[in-house]
Amino acid sequence: MITVARKTVLATIISVFVTHNAAAEIGRIEVMALLGSKAMISVDGQNHLLAVGESSEEGIKLLAIEQEGVQLDVSGKIDFYALGSTRIGTQYTQPEKLQERVYRDNSGMYRSVGSINGHMVSFLVDTGATTIAINSREAKRLGINYLLDGQMMAVNTASGTVRAWAVKLDRVTLGKIELNNIPAAVIDGSSLQEVLLGMSFLERLNVQHQGEVMLLETKF
């Protein structure tokens, strides 16, 4: 017959064994997406949407969200996991780098087609622009609720100082390249004729000029 004290010790041993066994069984960890203050983490094919400080049922804790990935505590080991990367056990698999080429047109500008939040747009790729810039009419078409979600500011344009709203875009794609949570500015009126794909997107990539071609490549 097991006494109360022995039952407690046995329960503790079983609990420790189960916890250790669950941690040992974690095989594949992948950072799927960065969504503002949360991150989508896949653990052995099971997706978990975690806020900072939360843990998955496997015991993986999200410690911090950074520009290109997250800090995770996995079985007491704290490390950085890049967006799109995969780790299997103690091994680390670097995600394949993606490349896109944008060609200079007859006017000397670099233009391409992509999407914002799933809606197709034509981009003017501009390394001289500090952020993605969209006029207010186009922003409405794209479903960007800048009046409610944006922060009002003033910007200088060729037409003078105009109102604008700082916003975050959930998803911006250019060919195979897709980035999340990108700062942008919605410019009041229609003086801005094209969507400028500026440095808030481009700074997350490696950008090279090769003659008439601008080569864009993911860093991770």
Based on the domain organization, do 113 and 212 belong to the same domain?
yes
**What is the phi/psi pair of residue 85, to 5°?**
-80, 160
Based on the domain organization, do 171 and 205 belong to the same domain?
yes
* pLDDT for residue 119 is more than 50: yes
Burial class (CB in 10 A: 0-12, 13-18, 19+), 181: middle
* pLDDT for residue 1 is more than 90: no
Instruction: Report the predicted TM-score, pTM, of the whole model to 2 decimal places.
Output: 0.60
* pLDDT for residue 2 is more than 60: no
The pLDDT assigned to 50 comes to 93
Domain around 124? 99-218
Please report, for the domain that includes residue 131, its CATH number: 2.40.70.10
pLDDT band at 58 (very low <50, low <70, confident <90, very high): confident
Please give the average per-residue pLDDT across 14-26, as a whole number: 40
Structure tokens belonging to residue 3: 């006494």
Number of domains, the chain: 2
Based on the domain organization, do 86 and 15 belong to the same domain?
yes
